[in-house]
Structure 1
Amino acid sequence: MKKYGKYIPLLLALVLLVAGRQWRADMTRDKRFTLSEASLRVTDRVKKPLEIKVYLKGDFPSYFRKLAEETRTLLEQFRVENPGIHYYFVNPI
């Protein structure tokens, strides 16, 4: 146990560093869940707060609910890259 005790502070520092950021691994062949270089450049250029209103909230058929979830996933990736990007879903009716 004493042999490994010197690694505990390093391990603790690593855990604290990683805990502050969301990490995801895109294991798809076509990198479906990874933002493209062009998308990353656009998010980097957003300097003022950007508010995105998505009209996909409410009682929709299943294919619209799937679209809403995929849209939420994509917008969350944008928000992680640039915290100035905000989005919310509203009912169009």
Structure 2
Amino acid sequence: MAVSTNKTTHRTTELSDCTDQDLCKEMLYRVIDGQASSREEEIFGRKIENCMSCFKQYQYEKSMKDVIVSKIDKKSVPSSLAEDIIFKVKKLA
């Protein structure tokens, strides 16, 4: 299914017709970020089958994340840099 990313479409699909906006928005981001449990994924999957607003918002957010991820260059950092950051964070705590 093609997803339109124009501003008008996005504004009209921001869960405005959803009866569980807060819960759905939280689940949507947990699913997209890979933080949802299998049960949450199942519940959200059923939700987007029955709520066009949630389905459109999911499609939009997923498309945006896919574009961003595809544009990021993954580079290795020296282990000494990571260790130094961890040391400094622990020192501040």
TM-score in terms of structure 1 length: 0.28
Structure with greater proportional helix content: 2
Which protein shows a greater Rg?
A: 1
Structure with greater proportional strand content: 1
TM-score in terms of structure 2 length: 0.28
